[in-house]
Amino acid sequence: MQQRFVGPSGLRVSRLGLGTMTWGKDTDEHEARDQLVAFVDAGGTLIDTAAGYTDGRSEALIGSLVGDVVPRDEVVLATKAGIWRRGGERTSDTSRGALLRGLDTSLRRLGTDHIDLWQVHLWSDDVPWEETLGALDHAVSSGRVAYVGVSNYTGWQTAQAATWQRAVPGRAPLVSTQVEYSLVNRRIEHEVLPAASACGLGVLPWSPLGRGVLTGKYRGGTPSDSRGASRAFSSFVETYFDEHSRQVVEAVCRAADGLGWTPLEVALVWVRDRVGVCAPIVGARTASQLKVALGSEGRTLPPEIRAALDDVSDPFTGYDG
């Protein structure tokens, strides 16, 4: 698998990342191992998780596998902080104390002495952003983190944070932003992508398959074994059951038929090769599903197909800020 630098930094990652949002819950240890083996065998290096995924079980499961399935120094461990589960409730806290305590917990779960890419999971108006960014500086200066980034920031938030980090001597520069980006959600092209480009941040798209909708599996209804049929993820998936998304999915499926590809490959390659993108993060329910995504490595969309998909998924349709 090809490797890419994240922004102008020296951090190199595989151009496809392994998402682990459901590891430790819907994805058990055996399935997780199979996925990690398939990913590493294909040349993948970037493993993405978060402290808030499955109450920390995702990080713990990764920690139990890295070192066994693959040497620690052959993968890039990326995790996020700022979203937690407390008393069964989801909460956010981007204060310096919470972030640094969370970092120590993540290190213990992952079974490592450093995290390659540590990201603030979300922006919070409850905590001064200077305090939040100060926690990133301390994490890097203490040697517990190599590179830092942000996630789910708007365009102005991205620009403000990145500019502050580069303007003040001694601060750790942001190298990445992780945001949702797919053929059914191109809103980041309005402000986030230009901000990332201007500030030298690499883009790590999450949900590049439109929360599974772009695979075409929901065209005839909701499969009983899909995330769309689960209580936890149904509303998450149904966001893209609207008419515009349906038209995009149909275009993807037509392109796939003409190319002899799967719809998944068409949608994934489209995102992977967008300007500024480093590595889409792909989460799969099974190792066999992941292998389909990994099979896209040698694919390149013909210019006329890319142009047609660009047109039908026009990002100015339904722009909401």
Catalytic residue list contains 147: no
Closest listed residue to residue 210, CA positions, set 177, 238, 243: 238
Contact 38, 287 (CB under 8 A): yes
79: tokens are: 């995790």
Which residues have CB under 8 Å from 296's CB, separation 6+?
Answer: 16, 264, 265, 268, 269, 272
Residue 154 DSSP class: -
Rounded Cα distance between 85 and 313, Å, is: 36
Of 53, 147, 218, 240, the catalytic one is 53
Measured between alpha carbons, how far is residue 247 from residues 57, 165, 309 in Å?
37, 41, 10
C-alpha angle with apex 265: 271 to 320, nearest 5 degrees? 35
Closest listed residue to residue 182, CA positions, set 79, 256, 308, 280: 280
Residue 176: strand, helix, or coil: strand
Rounded Cα distance between 246 and 218, Å, is: 10
Rounded Cα distance between 94 and 185, Å, is: 26
The position carrying tokens 């799969």 is 284
Which residues have CB under 8 Å from 128's CB, separation 6+?
Answer: none
Contact 75, 54 (CB under 8 A): no
77: tokens are: 């461990």
Residues annotated catalytic, as ranges: 53
